[in-house]
Chain A
Amino acid sequence: MDKILIANRGEIALRIHRACKDLGIQSVAVHSTADSKAMHVRLADECVCIGPPAAKDSYLNIPSILAAAEITGSHAIHPGVGFLAESENFVSMVEEHGFVFIGPTAEHIAMMGDKITAKEAMIRLGIPVVPGSDGAVESVGDAKRFADKVGYPVLIKATGGGGGKGMKVANSEKELSEAISLAKNEAKANFGNDEVFLEKYLQKPRHIEVQIIADSHGNVVHLGERDCSLQRRHQKVLEEAPSPVISSQQREELGELVTNAIKHLGYRGVGTLEFLYEDGKFYFIEMNTRLQVEHPITEMITGVDLVKEQIRVAMGEKLPFTQEDIKFNGHAIECRINAEHPETFIPSPGKVINYHAPGGLNVRVDSQLYTGYEIPPYYDSLVAKLIVYGKTREECLKRLDRTLAEYVITGIETTIPLHRKLMQSTAVQMGNYDIHWLEKDLLAA
């Protein structure tokens, strides 16, 4: 594999470019006209403009991406995060045209892309799931029967959904009918599919996910968990590894359960199984069949370069480690820094006047920003990931506090002040928070 086309943008494209170069592989950056001056485009060995700014005409434009792969003689395509990373249609077309897709098979992407089939697969594999309706809910009567069984509150979820859209809570039977039609409408609008199912609504769960990686020789390894409970509108804001509330025994048990399931599936590449955790119990909610934004914190505590290993697995190589080789050292936290006002969250694209990233021992910044860079308004607002490691959680928090104070990004609004507020909160200092805390407690105050 001499040349990889990066079918993505922003900080993740830069991340992939770096892994390519570390492996001595040529990188090809495809970009929209709005991203001509993106850092990864400037650094890549080759670049191809694939369309106008709108994602549907560029980063989601499969023929354009495949044509770019063809004219550059690329061997493989890395889909990054979001966009086409979980499109089984894209995987099929990539492979049909003779390129290697850096990721799992179309079959596994399809299986996990539909939340109902994903849950069914996990049940068969012995993974605990959130008690839910068996399959889609067709009528309000169906829904009532199920809700009576598991008890209120219940959550109505879109089958083909994600990103927190098409989800509505019904606290009692009275609210059920309306919640269902609202969820269906939102699902239809966002995903073109109004199929919904029901789950028991957990009151104060944490979001804990497990990273796995599998090669095509039957070796599956888990790389521990990440606690991603600090969210706003179902978007992760800050993540930490390991979770402050999980014991090493729990880690081992969950890890073993998960790796056995993935082995059974014959899965290949990286993947993350997301769970809700409440009262000592784990409940599977979904699996992401791709790299995740927050992968760096796992890299910091295990020493494994996940993107490099992803590429190696796609090349057919064996993982260079077994489960016994993986040791978890220290603590890592990632702050997602968005180009948004830290209180109103109004997006703030535009020119970065002054940029100075923090540094020092165990400080990592994954960002596409540079002085003079113009953040385009067409895409998501993530502009930097500040990742900090410490030998203990306390050391990590202290270092993070220092680096946030050192970070300079002027000319645009960023959520750095929000992260500084998080550092000062008792909840974060004690590690005592659930998935509602950030919105209901910190921001509402």
Chain B
Amino acid sequence: MSKLFKIDKAAVRELAAILKETDLSEIEYELEEGRIRVARNITQQGVTPTPVNVPTQVMQQDAPTAKAETSSDPASHPGTIKAPMVGTAYLSPQPDAAPFIKEGSSITEGDTLLILEAMKVMNPIKAPKSGKILKIFVQDAAPVEFGEPLVIIE
């Protein structure tokens, strides 16, 4: 469900500089235009599009042009788990509970990775194989479309 949005290069550069300076490994910053997460020791800069059900309609679409892709295509990693349905993603079993998985955690085949909810029905998405969570793409309570990359299991 990505729509074209303007990448604030200056903001990203500034955040990257702050990262280096302070020796942090990750900064997440919410601007009007969206949320930016900048992390070190990962080659891509994750730029998270604002979920479409947020009222601030800042997704400008120049028609007809190609949609912006994040710098390395998450869909092409062999361990990418993609959404088998449309719905809202929940990363924890309950709102205040701990998330099912974290980046870096080890999981076994059959473990619940996250929940996709549609029309009040909760569908657990299970790990098809054991491994380590390399990356989580989806935000808690974010809308998700069919085929959208959710996590990478390595």
Contacts and interface: CB of A to CB of B under 8 A. Distances in A.
B53 A71 contact: yes
Contacts of A63: 85, 118-119
Interface string B118-154: 1100000000000000000000000111111000000
Contacts of A97: 119
Interface in A21-62: 33, 39, 42-43, 45-52, 58
Given A48-B1, A70-B118, A70-B119, A64 B64 contact: no
Given A46-B3, A47-B1, A49-B147, A67 B61 contact: no
A45 B146 CA distance: 18
A67 B119 CA distance: 6
Contacts of A73: 53
A49 B1 contact: yes
Contact of B52 (A33, A46, A52): A46
Given A47-B1, A63-B118, A71 B146 contact: no
Contacts of A48: 1, 86, 143, 145-146
Given A47-B1, A48-B86, A68 B145 contact: yes
A39 B59 CA distance: 18
B118 A49 contact: no
B63 A71 contact: no
A321 B146 CA distance: 43
Contact of A49 (B59, B61, B148): B148
Nearest to A45: B61
Which DSSP category, helix, strand, loop or mixed, fits chain B's interface?
A: loop
Instruction: Name which of B52, B53, B86 has the most chain A CB atoms within 10 A of its CB.
Output: B86
Interface size bracket, A side: 20 to 34
A385 to B, nearest CB: 20
Given A67-B87, A67-B118, A71-B52, A43 B64 contact: yes
Contacts of A51: 146
B88 interface: yes
B86 A64 contact: yes
A51 B86 CA distance: 8
A66 B118 contact: yes
Contacts of B146: 33, 48-52, 58, 64
B64 A42 contact: yes
A58 B147 CA distance: 12
A152 interface: no
B86 A42 contact: no
Contacts of A71: 52-53, 86-88, 118, 143-144
A231 interface: no
Contacts of A67: 85-87, 118-119
A72 interface: yes
A370 interface: yes
A46 B143 CA distance: 12
B1 A46 contact: yes
Interface string A349-386: 00000000000000000000010000000000000000
Contacts of B61: 42-43, 45
B11 to A, nearest CB: 25
B99 to A, nearest CB: 20
B86 A50 contact: yes
A64 B118 CA distance: 8
15 contacts: A33-B146, A43-B61, A46-B3, A47-B1, A48-B146, A49-B86, A49-B146, A50-B146, A63-B118, A63-B119, A67-B118, A68-B145, A70-B119, A71-B118, A97-B119
Given A48-B146, A49-B145, A67-B87, 10 more contacts: A39-B64, A51-B146, A63-B85, A64-B85, A70-B119, A71-B52, A71-B53, A71-B144, A72-B53, A370-B64
